[in-house]
Amino acid sequence: MVAKAFNRHRYVVETNELQMQCVNCKNWITIMKIIDDKFVDTHDEGVVDKIFTRDRQGFYFANRCSKCKEKLSVTKENNPVNLLEKNSKYSFYLKPSNKEYIDFKAAALGIDIAETLNRIIEKDKTPENIKKLKDEFAKRVDKKFKL
Per-residue pLDDT of 61-91, as tens digits, reads 778 888 888 887 766 556 655 555 556 677 8
Q: Could you give the CA distance from residue 40 to residue 30 in angstroms, rounded to a whole number?
A: 11
**In the predicted structure, residue 18 carries a pLDDT above the cut 80:** yes
- Radius of gyration from C-alpha coordinates of the chain: 23
Please say whether the dihedral angle defined by the alpha carbons of residues 27, 53, 35 and 42, taken in this order, is positive or negative.
positive
**In the predicted structure, residue 124 carries a pLDDT above the cut 90:** yes
pLDDT band of 138, cuts 50, 70, 90 = confident
Q: Could you give the CA distance from residue 88 to residue 81 in angstroms, rounded to a whole number?
A: 10
Helix or strand run (H / E) with residue 60: strand 59-61
pLDDT band of 5, cuts 50, 70, 90 = very low
Q: Could you give the CA distance from residue 145 to residue 139 in angstroms, rounded to a whole number?
A: 10
Name residues whose C-beta falls within 8 Å of residue 106's C-beta, 6 or more positions apart in sequence.
Answer: 112, 113, 115, 116
DSSP three-state, residue 33: strand
DSSP code string of 3-63: EEETTTEEEETTTTEEEEE-TTT--EEEEEEEETTEEEE---TTTS-EEE-TTSS-EEE-S
Amino acid found at 80: P
